[in-house]
Structure 1
């Protein structure tokens, strides 16, 4: 596949009673980063959602409801099974994100703590 240029762990967040590992993903040939959110409780992370990150420091330094800083692309990207933007299937994309050295190291450290 090879569409992922870079991936980095952003945060571990709790939404409801589920922990999510949020990972920023930069695709080759695309300027706008994606945010891949994986449901994760120390075991195998499961891809929950993929968002296009449209946050702007000029607009989003406070809670700005004038626009959507994160647009959910999950259905658009994976419902046909092919994957858009050259990222392959949902499983292929998730595996490539999780195998990125930066992500694997960060999640490994979180799993030990």
Structure 2
């Protein structure tokens, strides 16, 4: 777990199908994971907001992996471990803070609204 995961920037990459749900795929820049080091999946929620459904660590190298291949082994799901406490429970406050930081980045909410996830 990273004590404080500060979002430096985020870009909506488009809409994808994740486990039968249409989600927005957002590339996230952080100091800990670098530029585009995390991919966040946002799905629709009942309150007209967005649910953070998964976070994937993008460890692919553009020098080696010159094409965008999200099924590549370099993509590791870190959704649980990223916000896990010492007692192995999810710190929902930190997870929610991360979500809000991503959604607060310039243009992210607007682009996600244009994807019509609902």
How far 1:96 moved relative to its partner?
A: 1.4
Question: C-alpha offsets along residues 54-109 of structure 1, whole Å, 9 cap, x if unaligned?
Answer: 1223332466x8x61211111111232448xxxx6111111111121221121132
Greater per-residue helix proportion: 1
TM-score (norm 2): 0.71
**1:28 and 2:25 are equivalent in the alignment:** no
Regions of 4+ moved over 4 Å? none
Taking the TM superposition and a 5 Å limit, the aligned residue runs for 1:46-57 are 46-57=51-62
Distance 1:50 1:79 in 2: 13
2:43 maps to which residue?
A: 39
TM-score (norm 1): 0.74
Structure 2: tracts of 5 or more residues without a match: none
Distance 2:94 2:74 in 1: 25
Say whether the 8 Å CA contact 2:5–2:98 is kept in structure 1: no
Distance 2:109 2:9 in 1: 13
How many corresponding residue pairs?
Answer: 107
Distance 2:33 2:62 in 1: 19
1:4 maps to which residue?
A: 7
**1:78 and 2:79 are equivalent in the alignment:** no
